[in-house]
Amino acid sequence: MKSRPQITLLSRLAEFNLGKMEGMKFTEVQEQYPEEFINFRNYPDKYDPIKIGGESYPDVIERMTPAIMQIVTEYPTENVMIVSHGAALNAEMNHLLGASLPNLKKRGGLANTSTTTIETKNAGQSFELISWNDTTYLNRRIDKTDIV
Q: What is the pLDDT along the chain (148 residues), one digit of tens a residue?
A: 578 888 999 999 999 999 999 999 989 999 999 999 999 999 999 999 999 999 999 999 999 999 999 999 999 999 999 999 999 999 999 999 999 999 999 999 898 899 999 999 999 999 999 999 999 988 877 766 666 5
Tally the domains of the chain: 1
- Specify the CATH number for the domain of residue 74: 3.40.50.1240
| 37 in any annotated domain | no
High-pLDDT (> 90) share of the chain, %: 81
Does residue 4 come out as left (phi exceeding 0), alpha (psi in the -120 to 50 range) or beta?
beta
CA distance 130 to 136: 15
- Which pTM value belongs to this model? 0.90
pLDDT at 146: 62
Helical pair 86-96 and 57-74, crossing angle rounded to 10 deg: 70
pLDDT at 148: 56
Domain limits at 89? Answer: 56-146
| 129 in any annotated domain | yes
CA distance 8 to 116: 19
Helix or strand run (H / E) with residue 115: strand 115-119
pLDDT at 147: 61
Contacts 24+ apart (CB under 8 A), 32-41: 40/87, 41/105
Q: For 91, what's the count of Cα atoms within 13 Å in the CB-facing half-sphere?
A: 28
DSSP labels, 52-114:
TT---HHHHHHHHHHHHHHHHHHSTTS-------HHHHHHHHHHHTT--GGGTTTT---BTT-
| 80 in any annotated domain | yes
